[in-house]
Structure 1
């Protein structure tokens, strides 16, 4: 086995390791989003904000679900090129979900105060 082949093999295992982390974390984040929605709904006097924050967090949960599916596809991919493309997409989708969740939490906290 040449050094280049070993390097590609280690890159593939590293990509699968990152995908495994995205897979587990994004599935936990879906549950966290559902928990946050139930907490937001328990607050009185938030009116229109409640629906905006609920909607943002629900969208975030769907985005995390897509990241979970994409990272699962990386774990199942057999071709290196396809695996790298899907893994990059899973990374971006996961970061989008985190951004949506942070914006929703910021709206909730700064409006309640």
Structure 2
């Protein structure tokens, strides 16, 4: 019997991480597709699509670990997976902002 003195789990957090991360994978796919269209038309290269692709992978890892936390029964594993999913989600959101900044400055320089 696991006797943790930790606060009760917030299952809603894992549910939110799972749903938002899954949606953000689709947003990243759309962004990469649009960047490929713009770069093909203008015949310019950018590093932004690589950043957004890594971002999509981080969101996928976050979603999968949140899903695993929702499906597991061991309390200690749930805590570890919940923290991991949360940290991957935050890292993906930070990288998303970096990608937005990069795209904004790249678009201003290349297309403006």
Q: Name the TM-score, length of structure 1 as normaliser.
A: 0.82
Structure 1, residues 22-43: CA drift from partner, whole Å, max 9, x if none? 0000000000000011111222
Question: Is the CA contact 1:46–1:112 (under 8 Å) kept in the aligned structure 2?
Answer: no
Report the count of equivalent residues: 103
1:75 is aligned, of 70, 77, 80, to 70
* Alignment RMSD (CA, Å): 1.9
CA distance in 1, matches of 2:55, 2:43: 20
Q: Aligned residue for 2:42?
A: 45
Judging by fraction of residues, say which structure has more helix. Answer: 1
Distance 1:18 1:110, change over 3 A: same
Q: Name the TM-score, length of structure 2 as normaliser.
A: 0.83
